[in-house]
Amino acid sequence: MASPVQHLPPGWNAEWDATHQRYLFIETTTGHTQWEPPIADPEAPPPSGGGSPPPAPHGGKRRQYAAGQTQAYYGGDSLAAAAPGYTNAGAAQPQPAQLFTPGLVAESQFQQQQTVASGQQQYYGEQPEYINAPQQPTYPHQSPAQMGALADQFGQMNMGHKGPRLFTTNLLTSPPEPRELFTPPPEIILPPGSCLSPSPLANADASYQRSTLNAIPTTNALLNKSKIPLGLVLTPYRSVKEGDEQVPLVTDTVIARCRRCRTYINPYVQFIDGGNRYVKVHLYTRHLIDFVSKMALLYVFAVERGPTTVRLGPKYMVRPPQPALYVFLIDVSHNAVQTGMVATATRTILENLDRIPDENGRTKVALIAFDTSLYFFSMPPGTTESSMLVVSDIDDVFLPKPTDLLINLAEGRQALESLLGRLSDMFQDNHTVGSALGPALQAGFQLMTPIGGKIIALTASLPSIGAGSLKNREDPKLLGTAKESGLLQAASPFYKTFAIECSRAQVCVDMFLFSSSYQDVASLAYLPHYTAGQTYFYPAFNASRTEDAIKFAHEFGEVLAQPIMLEAVMRVRASKNLRMSSFHGNFFVRSTDLLAMPAVPQDLSYAIEIQIEDTITAPFVVFQTAILHTTCYGERRIRVVTTALPTTSNLTEIFASADQIALATLLANKAVERSITHKLEDSRDALFNKMVEILSAYKASMTAAGAGASAQLAISENLKMLPVMLLGILKNVGIRQSSQIPPDLRAYAQALLTSMPSQLLIPYIYPTFYSLHTMPPECGTVGEQGIIMPPPLPLTSEKLERHGLFLIEDGQTIFLWVGRDAVPQLILDVFNLPNYETTLPVLDNPFSQRVNAVIQKTREMRRGPYYPHLYVVKEDGEPALRLWALSCLIQDRADVLPSYQQFISQLKDKVNGSGY
């Protein structure tokens, strides 16, 4: 029987009611409903209210057709008029076929596609027009009633869209827009009734945990068809700034969890049997819980929050909570003293003693100095002075005294302050060249083995004596060759084996490296990598340069002040048929999926790859990260971060739900790992090929071109920035093809790529670019959300002006670019001199204050301890500094590396020639 939708008067709609097996008629203007069919014309035959039900839903993929074919598809007589877009005022250009996705007509795709005029691309900064952007359509030759009926027909054919909306864009005509990197990830659309609470906070915020896909494929075959890797990006202990939502603390000391899979109670369960049992909807299993515990946790933990911290009782402790312990290993060799590292380090520790976590008065500290010998300092309680004990036998390290080397911070404060105040002077005339870093690490390990804690090592030279000694293996002939990856691996097994020993003893190591020559960062970074620490590198450090001293002092002070989580283990659990297959980050994998972290600093990121083992039948899945730890204040706690995601068998929804930020973060981690286990060239090829695979899969499944050649390079709108971010990774110092990058700089860049959270990683691979001389008048002033920042520009030198002032920053370095023909008044307002200087003063004029406010906001707006170094770059100034700043403009061609347009063209040629 014909559908009654075809006979409805204007303003009415019909929906099939499965319960009553008949149509329900709805007046769209008033919301009035009725079972009887409305009749506009009394002479027209009334349609039956029953009739056949709409076609059963089916899960076929949507095809896309060339614009000329849509006339036959819709039965129309003509195409819509073209609208101005990326056009050329000259001769008319041939128009490549536009793409059309059936089923999205109600979302304006058809009209928008027909109104896009193809032509010569204009300059960056203009608003691009997308193939199926969400704009309000106007359909010629069709009345609103006819179009509404048409949309209803498509809805009954299962062409309506209830999941994430997919919009296709052409990378050849849609330039990167930096502001799109600040947009939230695709919306997570869970099925009705999946959560106990409608609270938007039930799912963990993306800054804590985010997935590369916000709709999980039901089969591994479907995931492979999309070519998008499935993974999680975690920052479970990100710092909380002013205005951020606080993670709630539950003090019940008992936490409800599943006895079978050990998953903790979360917002995605349903209580049954009067609250004595709960059903994990995503697993369809029942679990008995403690009623008292449930009532205590219900509001805060199970209903309102994705991330939650729970204070635990004794049964979660292997031993009583240990005090926080810090052991400082300070290099006092000639180079360390002469560069001012020792003086800056001791002064920073002295100034930050009050910031070291010690609320309960249990924190302990020790200090060991070293060159080619070890210098211990005994500080008996109740005294204000310390005595130095020298150990020259570094082949068999021992502690010269059983007590007073490790002191309580509160009780030995005066003696420690006195020692820090004169340590630099004690070694001022030290001419010893050499470093016994390995023995110093062994001594610190012996000192803290019974307790565990954090070793903070500061060294300014290559370890040259004793255990862990290294040789200079920097060979310019190897740079840029297949053998270069060998320089990124540890030269000595000591650092990995010692790191594993530290992990077992709950000892974490942070490395601060300062050498002006080769220091083998790749080998030394193994210690922080396997002990959940961090590496900080200050090449050619000299405290006489104010910026060098400020950067180190700020970052070192932030590390000292950070609350740390001790004796931690982390496990990520997921719903049935999902398995954690690979892990990236700073930790030691103790068992199949248990990650050991002696100390967990804030704002450290981890990436985990996920495998679909079998068909997922549940309507949604849950990922839950749990970190069991002891706070530096002596409490045993667990941090639980829960994310629920819907499942889908629709390839369209998979592409529409892809999170490009999470994808870039995961691929950066995979690229670093591959560069070490294989070759740097393999790493670069893997990145490029993954982008080709994703584009080819999209073209084959989501466009009319299929496996044939296409004049366009189509991708979903939510993945539009992924190619330029991958280009940023390819041009990053850690991965870039070059024979001029020192191994230390490359190794440190790789350490950053695998440890920084997405908020820091994205600007590191796609820097931020501002025009300061033309920024709107409100920029640099205080608004409702703090300092108002200028709009970011695309990373191309086309935006540089010879008379302008620009800012380029990547989270680690800030460049203040001064054009060669900069207006004299601008230079005077910024530097208070007729010519520019290498430092930036704060002057008493509005423009200087706004520029300084933008720089200060840049340094403060992101999480983490990093303090970007400021360089003032004159366009016709020092060539090396100028080239360094220009290397941040990744959309330009540089050396053998392609520009963005060349990169897109390479992708297009590969996609069209891949025969996918």
What secondary structure does DSSP assign to 874-916, as a single string? ETTS-HHHHHHHHTT-TTS-BTTBPPHHHHHHHHHHHHHHS--
What secondary structure, in 3-state letters, does 299-363 show? HHHHHHCCEEEEEECHHHCCCCCCCCEEEEEEECCHHHHHCCHHHHHHHHHHHCCCCCCCCCCCC
Residue with tokens 């309580």: 408
Identify which of 344, 257, 347 has the alpha carbon closest to the alpha carbon of residue 302: 257
Q: Which DSSP helix (H) or strand (E) runs through 446?
A: helix 437-448
b/e per residue, 881-899, with b = 16+ CB within 10 A?
Answer: ebeebbbbbbbbeeeebbb
Measure the CA–CA gap between 368 and 370, rounded to whole angstroms: 7
Q: Are 873 and 817 in contact (CB under 8 A)?
A: yes
Please name the amino acid found at residue 584: H
Length of the chain: 916
What secondary structure does DSSP assign to 20-54, as a single string? TTEEEEEETTT--EESSPP-S-TTSPPPPSS-PPP
Q: Are 223 and 694 in contact (CB under 8 A)?
A: no
Give the pLDDT confidence score for residue 913 in this predicted structure: 81
Largest CA-CA distance found in the chain, in angstroms, rounded: 110
Give the pLDDT confidence score for residue 199 in this predicted structure: 72
Measured CA angle at 250 (ends 247, 279), to 5 deg:
100
Measure the CA–CA gap between 547 and 539, rounded to whole angstroms: 13
Give the pLDDT confidence score for residue 285 in this predicted structure: 38
Measure the CA–CA gap between 772 and 831, rounded to whole angstroms: 14
Q: Which DSSP helix (H) or strand (E) runs through 486?
A: none
Q: Spell out where 585-635 has E strands.
A: 588-589, 595-600, 606-612, 620-631
Measure the CA–CA gap between 906 and 270, rounded to whole angstroms: 51
- Per-residue tokens: 792: 């970011």
Q: For the chain of 916 residues, list the mean pLDDT of each consecutive stretch of 10.
A: 66 71 73 72 46 46 37 34 32 40 38 37 35 41 42 41 81 93 92 76 88 96 96 92 80 66 69 51 42 44 63 79 93 95 97 92 94 94 89 92 91 93 93 94 94 95 94 91 91 94 95 93 95 95 92 96 91 92 93 90 94 94 91 88 93 95 97 94 96 94 76 92 97 93 95 94 96 94 91 95 94 94 88 74 90 94 91 90 94 91 94 66
Give the pLDDT confidence score for residue 23 in this predicted structure: 75
Measure the CA–CA gap between 621 and 623, rounded to whole angstroms: 7
Neighbouring C-alpha atoms within 13 Å toward the C-beta of 443:
38
Q: Which residues contact 291 (CB under 8 A, 6 or more apart)?
A: 275, 276
Q: What is the pLDDT of residues 363-380, one digit of tens each?
A: 999 999 999 999 999 998
SS3 content of the chain, % helix, strand, coil (to 5): 30, 20, 50
Please name the amino acid found at residue 671: A
Q: Which residues contact 123 (CB under 8 A, 6 or more apart)?
A: 798
Q: Are 641 and 555 in contact (CB under 8 A)?
A: no
Domains and CATH numbers, the chain: 1-38 (2.20.70.10), 209-318+566-658 (2.60.40.1670), 325-563 (3.40.50.410), 767-888 (3.40.20.10)
Give the pLDDT confidence score for residue 331 in this predicted structure: 97
Please name the amino acid found at residue 739: S
Q: Which DSSP helix (H) or strand (E) runs through 125?
A: none
Q: Spell out where 152-280 has E strands.
A: 168-170, 209-211, 216-217, 231-234, 249-253, 269-272, 277-280
Measure the CA–CA gap between 268 and 285, rounded to whole angstroms: 13
For the chain, the C-alpha Rg in angstroms (whole number) is 31
Characterise 904 by phi-psi region: left (phi > 0), alpha (psi -120 to 50), beta (else): alpha
User: Any idea what DSSP says for residue 748?
Assistant: H
Neighbouring C-alpha atoms within 13 Å toward the C-beta of 654:
28
